[in-house]
Amino acid sequence: MANRDQESPPLRTGPSSIAPGVSPGPGVSPGPGVTPGPDVSPGPPEARTPGSRRGRMLADSAAVEEWPVWLEVNGEPAVTWMCTPGQLEELATGWLHGEGYIETLDDLVKLRPCATDLGFWAEVKPERVALVKGEDRRRVLASGCGAVSTFLADPPAVRHAVARGEPPPPEIQRALFKELFARGVRYNETGGIHAAALTDNATLQFHAEDIGRHNAVDKVIGAAVIARQPLAGRGLLVTGRISAELAYKAARAGLAYVATPSVPSTLALTIAQRSGMVLVGRAVSGTPHIHRPDA
């Protein structure tokens, strides 16, 4: 494990209560069973008008943070993300959920950060690890975010399910995306980062930004798991294309739909069709493309 050098991003030191077994972040005293430990986050942004693009015009200084962060599961190396260093506990928790290591926070016995390096040790229930290993996954290079399991992109691995729900009308969806972009501090400063948020079709929930679109999705799903908030039936807004891996994460979480200003991939459509999930492409246009499971 490499030591963090002087150019690494600073570690946060303030504790916060997230959930039993999950290391806290800043701002709130930890509760019973919480393992105090550092997290990584950039400093607070300079005061600015929400939705402004002032920083994007500073071409010489605009850059998106990117750092390697590792995760070990029950003592074995599991993944190294190239990611934006913020909401890392949420990222780890969401990734564990998307890969099948946990279904609820109760499956995550402990999540402990390394004090000198950007990484985490996760302890999950042994039976969950056995289930994942029993799938005998091979590693492939995915469409944009590094090595992921071929299992995620394998349509036969997705169980058939009934339709989970409908997205809101186009005008409401456009308003939700407008809020998503307005909340994006890094997006408005650089124009070079992805964002994701869960929604109940009325408000945005658990917004996150990351250099990788899959990382942003893991962060918002992980935030919901940590907060013990329901995922089933919620919608997911993403700024990038809907790939097979992203669709599988959403399907495993029980989400009703995924919407993007971009488009879905063909494998994502197949996964959504089998899982009962709606995909919405060109969601901010006047004529969004709605792909329903029964279409």
Provide the annotated active-site residues: 145
Nearest to 22 by CA among 98, 133, 120: 120
For the chain, report the end-to-end CA distance as a whole number of angstroms.
49
Rounded to whole angstroms, how far apart are CA atoms 281 and 257? Answer: 11
DSSP class of residue 262 equals S
- The answer to whether the CB of 255 falls within 8 A of the CB of 288 is no
Rounded to whole angstroms, how far apart are CA atoms 260 and 67? Answer: 26
- The answer to whether the CB of 225 falls within 8 A of the CB of 247 is no
The DSSP bridge partners found for residue 275 are none
Cβ neighbours of residue 28 under 8 Å, at least 6 residues apart? 15, 16, 17
Largest CA distance in the chain: 54
- The answer to whether the CB of 71 falls within 8 A of the CB of 122 is yes
